[in-house]
């Protein structure tokens, strides 16, 4: 189920990023610290009263050119209007109402999206009176907050959560495999969708997707139901959007959220660039099954080593996704496109695979016997037992005597042993350690 989206908008230096960090709290620390994952603080996950939501910090979006600051502010507001269910409009109590605030207010007011007006830097009770002039912006009661001191954040989130859409917004059953195509502009995502749907045996449904702005194509092949979520269809026209790398990342995030399997489409003719790592990194962090699809392979000059060398480049650039298979295709000639859906089925199955506890512990015991856990100051890590606690992605908890002694390298060793025994091709797996209590 897609999370509601909350965007934080405002002119520079009003404290958007501070509030963003307050909202997401320690959530980023939960994400694995794996080498090669590109960090990007534009997007995070927050929680209020057991309801998770996505947060966009539009302050990370910049544009170049004349009158850069106001142009950036306008673009940020437009992106928030496009993407968000609810918008937090942030202003500065110390500065008062500025002309830039008024311009953003006009954009937001015309959008008819729910807006919560948050007045930042209300650091003490004496400053509370300074919020009243912000009534002039036309968004009802301003909420005084302090990013520096954490004051009023709960009131602000409560006001925002009141506008979140209903929980029951997912329109597809568990038996449907939801596939998202992600990648930077011009890698051929739309052509690839057309090539997949162009197969004679594919039955395309005429059911319209009910999600607001994704282009969903439900179809069926060999009694398996799919939905393709096409991010290419979600891209806005105009230079300002196409030149804003983080904008395409933001659109990809919405598709990733809803997908079971993510196809990371790479332009075989142009090779790998940094933005590919940004986008693929989000799929990994979201715990989705993934396949690298190298498109336009028909126009690449090649010999018998080219494919192997390109695969090695992918492995070198995407160290954090060595589990994802690679497929070389041409959407234009449909070369190898017929192999894509069987591969989707395979990684979707691995993504939902469960391992019986006793079988898992046999593998872990063998791994520990072959390569004992590390010692520290004469003390050795002892693994009592392991169990799988969830799927999508497969997640394992190791009960140990000293969780702090579980070194990253040993965790990776255990992950490799689990993969060697059970497969899990195409899916990330999560490993957590917990202290075994005396009564367990």
144 is known to lie in a ligand binding site: no
d(CA 208, CA 203): 14
Backbone angles phi, psi at 336, to 5 degrees: 60, 5
127 is known to lie in a ligand binding site: no
pLDDT value for 213: 43
> Last residue of some domain: 136, 161, 186?
161
Domain count, the chain: 3
User: Is residue 319 one of the residues assigned to a domain?
Assistant: yes
User: Is residue 126 one of the residues assigned to a domain?
Assistant: yes
pLDDT value for 170: 59
133 and 267 belong to one structural domain: no
Query: Is residue 422 within 8 Å of residue 386, measured between CB atoms?
Result: no
272 and 345 belong to one structural domain: yes
345 and 362 belong to one structural domain: no
pLDDT value for 15: 86
Instruction: Compute CA distances 334 → 15, 27, 178, 191, whole Å.
Output: 50, 42, 21, 10
Q: Give the range of the structural domain holding residue 337, as residue numbers without chain letter.
A: 177-350
231 is known to lie in a ligand binding site: yes
Give yes or no for residue 65 having a pLDDT over 70.
no
186 is known to lie in a ligand binding site: yes
User: Is residue 278 one of the residues assigned to a domain?
Assistant: yes
243 is known to lie in a ligand binding site: no
124 and 184 belong to one structural domain: no
438 is known to lie in a ligand binding site: no
User: Is residue 36 one of the residues assigned to a domain?
Assistant: yes
245 and 295 belong to one structural domain: yes
Give yes or no for residue 80 having a pLDDT over 80.
no
232 is known to lie in a ligand binding site: yes
189 is known to lie in a ligand binding site: yes
> Whose CA is closest to 96, among 73, 71, 122, 116?
122
234 is known to lie in a ligand binding site: yes
pLDDT value for 167: 57
185 is known to lie in a ligand binding site: yes
59 is known to lie in a ligand binding site: yes
127 and 186 belong to one structural domain: no
pLDDT tens digits, one per residue of 138-166: 999 999 999 888 899 999 999 999 999 87
357 is known to lie in a ligand binding site: no
d(CA 264, CA 149): 41
Give yes or no for residue 249 having a pLDDT over 70.
no
328 and 266 belong to one structural domain: yes
Task: Identify the H or E element spanning 23.
Answer: helix 16-24
272 is known to lie in a ligand binding site: no
Instruction: Compute CA distances 37 → 284, 317, 392, whole Å.
Output: 9, 9, 20
295 is known to lie in a ligand binding site: yes
User: Is residue 172 one of the residues assigned to a domain?
Assistant: no
426 is known to lie in a ligand binding site: no
Whether pTM exceeds 0.85: no
User: Is residue 170 one of the residues assigned to a domain?
Assistant: no
114 is known to lie in a ligand binding site: no
Give yes or no for residue 62 having a pLDDT over 50.
no
Give yes or no for residue 269 having a pLDDT over 50.
yes
What CATH number should be reported for the domain holding residue 413? 3.30.300.20
66 and 188 belong to one structural domain: no
> Last residue of some domain: 350, 382, 400?
350
141 is known to lie in a ligand binding site: no
373 is known to lie in a ligand binding site: no
19 and 148 belong to one structural domain: yes
238 is known to lie in a ligand binding site: no
343 and 209 belong to one structural domain: yes
178 is known to lie in a ligand binding site: no
d(CA 14, CA 238): 28
Q: Sheet containing 224-230: give its strands across.
A: 203-204, 215-221, 224-230, 177-182, 261-267, 289-295, 326-328
> Last residue of some domain: 327, 350, 373?
350
12 is known to lie in a ligand binding site: yes
238 and 346 belong to one structural domain: yes
57 is known to lie in a ligand binding site: yes
230 is known to lie in a ligand binding site: yes
Using DSSP, state whether 122 is helix, strand or coil.
Answer: coil
10 is known to lie in a ligand binding site: yes
395 is known to lie in a ligand binding site: no
pLDDT tens digits, one per residue of 170-200: 567 889 999 999 887 778 888 888 899 886 5
246 is known to lie in a ligand binding site: no
Give yes or no for residue 37 having a pLDDT over 50.
no
User: Is residue 166 one of the residues assigned to a domain?
Assistant: no
pLDDT value for 215: 66
297 is known to lie in a ligand binding site: yes
pLDDT value for 123: 87
What CATH number should be reported for the domain holding residue 10? 3.40.50.300
58 is known to lie in a ligand binding site: yes
**pLDDT band (50, 70, 90) for residue 59:** low
pLDDT value for 124: 81
**pLDDT band (50, 70, 90) for residue 204:** low
211 and 299 belong to one structural domain: yes
How would you class 413 by CB atoms within 10 Å of its CB: exposed for 0-12, middle for 13-18, buried for 19 or more? middle
302 is known to lie in a ligand binding site: no
């Amino acid at each position: 189920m897609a999370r509601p989206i909350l965007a934080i908008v405002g002119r520079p230096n009003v404290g958007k990023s501070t509030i963003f960090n307050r909202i997401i709290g320690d959530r980023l620390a939960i994400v694995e610290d794996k080498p090669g994952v590109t960090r990007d603080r534009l997007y995070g996950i927050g929680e209020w009263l057991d309801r998770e939501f996505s947060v966009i910090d539009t302050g990370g979006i910049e544009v170049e050119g004349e009158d850069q600051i106001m142009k950036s502010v306008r673009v940020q507001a437009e992106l928030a209007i496009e993407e968000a269910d609810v918008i937090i409009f942030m202003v500065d109590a110390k500065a008062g109402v500025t002309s830039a605030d008024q311009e953003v207010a006009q954009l937001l007011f015309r959008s008819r999206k729910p807006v919560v007006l948050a007045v930042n830097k209300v650091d003490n009770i004496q400053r509370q009176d300074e919020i009243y002039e912000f009534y002039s912006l036309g968004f009802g009661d301003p909420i005084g907050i302090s990013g520096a001191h954490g004051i009023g954040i709960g009131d602000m989130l409560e006001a925002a959560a009141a506008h979140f859409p209903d929980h029951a917004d997912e329109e597809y059953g568990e038996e449907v495999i939801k596939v998202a195509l992600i990648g930077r502009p011009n890698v051929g995502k739309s052509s690839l969708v057309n090539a997949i749907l162009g197969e004679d045996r594919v039955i395309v449904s005429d059911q319209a997707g009910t999600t607001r702005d994704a282009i969903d194509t439900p179809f069926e092949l060999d009694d398996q139901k799919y939905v393709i979520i096409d991010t290419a269809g979600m891209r806005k026209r105009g230079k300002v959007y196409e030149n804003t790398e983080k904008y395409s990342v933001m659109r990809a995030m919405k598709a990733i959220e809803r997908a079971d399997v993510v196809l990371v489409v790479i332009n075989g003719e142009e090779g790998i660039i940094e933005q590919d790592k940004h986008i693929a990194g989000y799929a990994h962090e979201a715990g989705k099954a993934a396949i690298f699809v190298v498109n336009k392979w028909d126009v690449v000059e090649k010999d018998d080593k080219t494919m192997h060398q390109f695969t090695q480049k992918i492995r070198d650039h995407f160290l954090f996704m060595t589990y994802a298979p690679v497929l070389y295709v041409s959407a234009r000639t449909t070369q190898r496109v017929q192999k894509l859906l069987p591969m989707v089925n395979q990684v979707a199955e691995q993504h939902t695979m469960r391992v019986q506890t006793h079988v898992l512990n046999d593998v872990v015991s063998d791994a520990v016997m072959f390569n004992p856990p590390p010692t520290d100051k004469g003390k050795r890590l002892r693994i009592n037992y392991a169990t799988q606690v969830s799927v999508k992605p497969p997640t394992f908890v190791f009960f140990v005597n000293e969780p702090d002694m579980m070194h990253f390298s040993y965790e990776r060793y255990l992950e490799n042993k689990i993969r060697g025994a059970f497969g899990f091709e195409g899916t990330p797996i999560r490993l957590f350690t917990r202290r075994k209590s005396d009564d367990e």
